[in-house]
Each structure stands twice: as C-alpha cells, then as structure tokens.
Structure 1
Amino acid sequence: MLEKDDFLKWVNASHYMFEIFEGRNDAYPLAKKWIREWSDFGKFIIDERDNGIVNLLIKSFDYDVFRNSNDKIERNDDEWTKFVNEVDRQFKKLIENNLKAGECKNVGFAVAPFLFTWNFQRFKEYFKKRKEDFDIGSYFKDLGNFLSGKKEVLRGFKDKHLIYDEIEKERVKQIFDEINGKLKETGIGNNEPIGTIKLLHVFAPCYFPMIDNDIAKTIGGLLPSKWESLTSDSYLKWMNALKSWLQNYFEVINRLEEEYDSSILKLIDEGLYMMSTVKQRARVARLGIELN
C-alpha cells in the first residue's frame, strides 16, 4: 500500500498525464455541470463557451483510435471510411439539433457527448449491428426520457460521498440494474455495465466510482472470468473495496478535491485508467520527438 506522500504523488502525476493526453477536449466536465443544472432546475444551459467546447470535441475526436484491424468491416479502408462518415454525420446532427446555445430540458443530450466519446466501443457495435435502424439522436432522447423518470432517485445520491456516507446496497443495486436494463433495451440486447457506471458517476460524482473491464481485470477479484463483465454485485464489491482503501488517505482527500475541483473518485479513475487501460506507447508520437 502506498504511503500518504506517495499516494499524493501518484494522484498528482496521473492527473497531469491524463490532462495532457486525454483531457483537453474531455466532455466529462460539461456533462457534470449540465446534469447538476438539470437536477436542480429541470433544464440545463448551453452557453457559447460550452458550444465551442463541444464543437472542438467533434473536430478532434479520432475514430481511428477505436479501429479494430481484425474486424472485416474495420480492416477495409473504404468500408471503415464509409462507416465513420455515417457515425460522424449522426453525431454532428445530434449536436447541431440539440446542443446549440440556449437551454435544453432533455438530460439525455447532457450526457450524449460524454457517453458517446468515452463509450464509443459500444456505440460502434450499435451502428454495425443495427445499421440503418440505429439513430443516435433518438437513442439519447429516449435515454433522457427514461432518466427523467428516475430523477428523484438519482437526486437522492447527488450529494452523497462514498467516504463519508454508507453504501446503500439495495438502492444502488436497483438503480444500477434499472439503468443497465434501459441501455440493454435501447442498444443491441446486451448488458451495458460500463455505460451504466459512467451514467451513475456523472449523476453523483462523489458517490459512484468509475471502473471499466480493463481496470477490473487488472485489480482482480471482480470478474468471474476474463470473458465476463461487471454486474451490480461486482460493482457493489468495488464500491466497498474503494471506500475501505480510501480511508487510509482520509487526511489528504479534501486537499486533493479542492485543488483539482474534482471528486477523489474521478482522480482515482484517472490514475487507474492511465495504468490499466491506455497503451502508453501510442502516446509517444504525440511528444513530437524528431530524428534528423
């Protein structure tokens, strides 16, 4: 286990690495801000700055990062280009129609840029398997209508903090399974634990920790096998383990959250993401070292 000073160094180093290579055009801060506004006022405001961030996100999003050379569609340059153009067209249409400067009442569009960009591996499968039947704008509109029906439940977690508040096992399990069920219904009939966890987190960033399958595999003990994914039960196990571990750093957590204006759960996720999920060698080219 890390000593407190080393824990601080790890969080600091991971955060700066994340910001440099992953966070410059991250939709997460916007999603968090918009959801809090919607939770308090029933609508969220898209100002000119927000609109500029979203447009920059669209412009800089690199679909090729998610390309799978073993897939018959994706390994064919012409097929991949055609596929990406259609996905990009729909994503831009969603932004143009629903996230122009002004106000919006459907919270599905508040989470759309964040969920689309950070869970694109799943959306890629929706487009491939449902083809002409899948419309991303309709997907997030439907999701927003569902989340509106869960507003009071989600508000109940909004101001909770994993370190200070108890883990309400039955309530967490219920909302996890309900959101997963909705994503399964609107997707391709598969469980969607990663999308579920990302949604839970942005609605209650200090209470619901993020995790993905790569991190779960690296930590060990959360997945029955490498072919299985997270469930509400394994997520509760993760919440309990993280809560217990963070008690060791109780004295420095407030300082970190204030310094970065971020929940400790988000900062921990950045560190685990950089260690477990990202192939760091792929980022070396971005350093710009040139040999003459």
Structure 2
Amino acid sequence: MYIPSKEEIIHGCREFEFHEKRDSMYNVSIFLLDHFWGNPEDMADGLGVLLLTWNQAFYRYGQLDYDLLERFLESNMSVIESFRQRKISTLSNDDETLIKKLFNELREALKIESQKGTRRSPVGVAKALHLLCPNFFPIWDKKIAVAYKCNYEMDPAEKYLQFCKINKELCEEIQKYDINSNKTLLKIIDEYNYSKYTKGWI
C-alpha cells in the first residue's frame, strides 16, 4: 500500500480547499448532526444536506426517501452511537459483521426509484456513515475505491470493509506527520484522495 508523504497530504488538502467550494455543506451537515443528535427525523435532514449536494449526480434520477433514512437511524441508533465514540484505529475483526450490516441497511435506506428501476449508491452510504461517525468511517467514490483496489461493483459492503482496513493503516502512518489541522484524519485522507484520484489536481 502506498503511503503518501506529509508534503503530498498537505498539497492535496490545499488543492481541495482551493477548488472544492461545496465543502461548506460538509461543515453544515456535521453541525446539524451534532445539534440534532438523537433525533432521527432532524438527523435525516442533516444527512440530506450533504447527500443532495455531494451526491447530486445520483439523486437527480430520484428522490431521497427521508422516511426510510429516518427508520434506519431509529433502528440502528445504539450501534451508530457506539461507532461515533470510536476512532478507526480501534477497528477489529469483531466489527466486521456489524459494519457490513450497517452498510447494507443504509444502502437500502438511501436507494432511489428511477425510470430504470431501483438504484443504490455505495458512495452515498460511505458519505452518510462518515458524517455519522467522522472518526471511524472513511469516505470514497468510484475512482478512489478503484485506486485502492476496492471496486464495489460486486459485494460493496465487503469492499467497504476492506477500504476501512486500508484507512486504518493510512491513519496509523499519517498521524505521525502531526499535521496541524482541526479536521479528522479520515477527512484529511479523503481530501488527499479526492484531489489525487477523483480530480487529478495533484
């Protein structure tokens, strides 16, 4: 696995901040989830702020079903809460079944009905999980997943689990750089990945 240098990470984050103006929606979503934590209805609204912005290419084909998302949050609140209190450094084999279950259930909750039938977004799932548990769950998109050999065309939950394990290793190395930032390590890694693999800015 390639470990980017401190200079590469910082360069990627700077390019992200320069080009990516939608990151304000990330901050708004994080704020709303913090403020409304424990209220599934309002938490669903907070997640929708980011999903309808960052994942607009998916949701232009169908509506986000807030009722489904709210029910997912209600039924999984205790599990989500437990992951929210943890860092990805604590990821263990004991978490694997639960992570895949969460991923698959949220994938159903975020599905849309379009003219071409039911569509599901592994990208939206990762973004929502990260917002709910920003120190534990990483973010990906198709290009990032492929770059890390986690192409999710088949068994996306298993591929996401692999991606979590990779991010655990990345965080263990990148935390040694002591980067001066108020962002989580997973957000820093995502900004680097987005700049490098998604956009090719670096």
Runs of 4 or more consecutive aligned structure 1 residues displaced over 6 Å after TM superposition:
none
| Structure 2 counterpart of 1:213 | 142
1:223·1:230 contact (CA, 8 Å) conserved in 2? no
Q: Structure 1, unaligned stretches of length 5 or more?
A: 44-104, 127-133, 281-292
Which residue number in structure 2 is paired with residue 8 of structure 1?
Answer: 6
Q: 1:276 aligns with which of 193, 197, 200?
A: 197
- The RMSD of aligned alpha carbons is 2.6
Query: Which of residues 223, 230, 233 in structure 1 aligns to 2:151?
Result: 223
1:178 is displaced (CA, Å) by 0.6
Which structure 2 residue ranges, 5 or more long, are not aligned? Answer: none
Please state how far the C-alpha of 1:274 moved relative to its aligned partner. Answer: 0.8
Amino acid at match of 1:160: R
Deviation readout 1:14-52 (Å, 9 max, x if unpaired): 11211111046520011112212322x538xxxxxxxxx
State the TM-score, normalized to the length of structure 1. Answer: 0.61
Equivalent runs, 1:144-183 vs 2, <5 Å? 144-166=70-92, 168-183=95-110
Residue 121 of structure 1 pairs with residue 57 of structure 2 = yes
Asked whether the equivalents of residues 22 and 54 of structure 2 are also in contact (C-alpha less than 8 Å), the reply is no
CA contact (8 A) 1:109 1:141 kept: no
Q: Any idea what SS the aligned residue of 1:163 has?
A: helix
- Contact 2:147 2:197 (C-alpha < 8 Å) held by counterparts: yes
**Number of paired residues?**
198
- Report SS of the residue matched to 2:111: helix
Corresponding residue SS for 2:88: coil
Instruction: Using the TM superposition, give the Cα deviation of residue 170 of structure 1 relative to its aligned residue in structure 2, in angstroms.
Output: 0.9
Indicate which of 237, 243, 254 corresponds to 2:162: 237
Return the structure number with greater relative CO, CA threshold 8 A, min gap 6. Answer: 2
Describe the shift of the 1:16–1:37 C-alpha distance in structure 2 as closer, same or farther (beyond 3 A). same
In structure 2, what residue type is equivalent to 1:35? L
TM-score (norm 2): 0.85
Q: Give the conservation status (yes or no) of the 8 Å contact 2:9–2:188.
A: yes
Q: Partner residue of 2:185?
A: 264
Which whole-Å CA distance do the structure 2 matches of 1:277 and 1:267 have between them?
15
Bigger Rg over Cα: 1
The one-letter amino acid paired with 2:139 is: M
Q: 1:26, 1:114 within 8 Å by CA — same for their partners in 2? A: no
Alpha-carbon spacing, 1:185–1:152, altered in 2? closer, same or farther (3 Å): farther
Distance 2:22 2:128 in 1: 21
Say whether the 8 Å CA contact 1:213–1:229 is kept in structure 2: no
